Amino acid sequence: MTVTLADVAARAGVSAATVSRVLNSNYPVAEATRDRVLRAVAELEYVANGPASALAAATSDLVGILVNDVADPFFGILASAVQSEMSGDSTSGGEKLAVVCNTGGSPERELTYLTLLHRQRAGAVVLTGGATEDPAHTAALAARVARLSAAGTQVVLCGRPPLAVGVPTGDGGSAEGPAGASSASGADTGPAPLTVAFDNRGGARSLTEHLVALGHRRIGCVAGPEGLTTTRHRLEGHRAALAAHGIEDVPGRTVHGAYDRASGYAAAHELLRQDEDLTAVVAANDTVALGVCAALREHGLRVPEDVSVAGFDDLPFSTDAVPALTTVRLPLTEAGARAGRLAMGREPAPADGVVLLSSELVIRKSTAPPYS
């Protein structure tokens, strides 16, 4: 049936052990023998059995990348960067199978994938995007991550805050109830989770401050879904800017919604219904901003003459929008690349395990001084 190591060994006239050694090049083998083996491998079109190697070696060449939504360029860019850094880029022959898993923003699927990856004994896992803040989920996630770490898997969080550590068993409140008889205490805590975070708070703050500096006072805010770290941080930054300038944070001026265009569209309508005289709107991200612009246009409002609109992330299409979007640029590619390198141990981890990437305000055409 399918060609095995033994077949190759037989054809090359050596032992299986030798074939294994040349294939993994982790042990000295005579030049001549190596050639013979390699030839046999080619002739037989041998393809190693990954599961078998993984089982025997207790480690696999699989590394995972979790994203909230593959169809969203934000994650696509991040994933692409992480991935190209993880795939053994022809440097060390260590071919890694870097795979991206789509959670669709569902906390359950996130946990499921983590388990699946753990099952496969993945060498590393990077979790991208904002984290759900529900306590039960946070606890479950921390537990999964701890187990992964204990199993030797390097976990890297990218685009979300560091995980609260030291969450041992026996916590109250959690729905599940893993009982006592667990493994030994302490000891094997594997590699500590690392983090590459964005300065969402600072970015949002400077964005709103830009608007305030322009003269805006009645600023609407289309925030992301509630219960997501990213949403909270951006909102906090926005509010901090408002507070710093003595502008009242009117509740009705903030609306929550998904990170997509439809949500921006609906939110803008809602915002306008609450307060017809808004002079500016900060959106949860660029995609949402596009939806906001569309809704505004339908109301006969011009951007930025009548209402200024700002996005967040600076995705590629933002520059093509009409008018080009004022936004906050997040170093997505750098973040992904560093997360990938950290995961592969190709970059020294910072002492506190956290890399904070700064954001940059990008002023384009969608914001201007208020008309009236």
Residues 28-87 that bind DNA (CB under 7 A): 28-30, 32-34, 46, 48-49, 52-53, 55-58
Token readout for 195 is 């983090």
28 binds, among DNA, a copy of itself, none (CB under 5 to 8 A by kind): DNA
**Interface segment toward DNA; rule CB under 7 A; list 24-32, 150-158, 168-176, 327-335:** 24-32
Contacts 24+ apart (CB under 8 A), 86-94: 86/124, 86/340, 86/343, 86/344, 93/25, 94/61
42 binds, among a copy of itself, DNA, none (CB under 5 to 8 A by kind): a copy of itself
Residues numbered 247-276 forming contacts with a copy of itself, rule: CB under 8 A: 261
**Interface segment toward a copy of itself; rule CB under 8 A; list 42-50, 225-233, 269-277, 338-346:** 42-50
State which of residues 6, 30, 52, 356 lies at the interface with a copy of itself (CB under 8 A): 52
**Number of residues near DNA (by CB under 7 A):** 32
Report the Cα 5 to chain-centroid distance in Å.
Answer: 38
Whats the size of the chain, residue-wise?
A: 372
Closest separation between CB of residue 237 and a copy of itself, Å? 26
Kindly state whether residue 6 participates in binding DNA, applying the rule CB under 7 A: yes
100 binds, among a copy of itself, DNA, none (CB under 5 to 8 A by kind): a copy of itself
**Could you give the CA distance from residue 263 to residue 27 in angstroms, rounded to a whole number?**
58
Closest separation between CB of residue 263 and a copy of itself, Å? 13
Backbone angles phi, psi at 299, to 5 degrees: -85, 5
Kindly state whether residue 175 participates in binding a copy of itself, applying the rule CB under 8 A: no
Backbone angles phi, psi at 222, to 5 degrees: -100, 100
Nearer to DNA, 55 or 71 (CB): 55
Nearer to a copy of itself, 99 or 361 (CB): 99
- Give the Cα-Cα-Cα angle 343, 348, 352 (nearest 5 degrees): 90
CA atoms within 13 A on the CB side of 3: 14
x/- track of binding to a copy of itself for residues 60-99 (CB under 8 A): xxx-x----xxxxx-xxx-xx--xx--x-------x-xxx
Residues numbered 239-278 forming contacts with DNA, rule: CB under 7 A: none
Please, where are the H alpha helices in the chain? 5-12, 16-24, 31-44, 50-57, 73-86, 107-119, 135-150, 200-214, 229-244, 261-274, 286-298, 332-343
Cis peptide bond N-terminal to 191, omega within 30: no
x/- track of binding to a copy of itself for residues 198-237 (CB under 8 A): ----------------------------------------
Nearer to a copy of itself, 43 or 277 (CB): 43
State which of residues 221, 321, 325, 330 lies at the interface with a copy of itself (CB under 8 A): 321
Residues numbered 103-162 forming contacts with a copy of itself, rule: CB under 8 A: 104, 109, 112-113, 115-121, 147, 150-151
**Which candidate, 289, 299, 281, places its Cα nearest to that of 262?**
289
End-to-end CA distance of the chain: 79
Kindly state whether residue 116 participates in binding DNA, applying the rule CB under 7 A: no
Kindly state whether residue 21 participates in binding DNA, applying the rule CB under 7 A: yes
Closest separation between CB of residue 107 and a copy of itself, Å? 15
Report the Cα 299 to chain-centroid distance in Å.
Answer: 36
**Interface segment toward DNA; rule CB under 7 A; list 26-34, 92-100, 260-268, 323-331:** 26-34
Exposure b/e, 262-300, CB count within 10 A at least 16 = b: ebbbbbbbebbeeeeebbbbbbbbbbbbbbbbebbeeee
Closest separation between CB of residue 32 and DNA, Å? 7
Cis peptide bond N-terminal to 323, omega within 30: yes
Token readout for 311 is 């996005």
Interface residues with DNA (CB under 7 A) are: 1-2, 4-6, 13-18, 20-21, 23-24, 26-30, 32-34, 46, 48-49, 52-53, 55-58
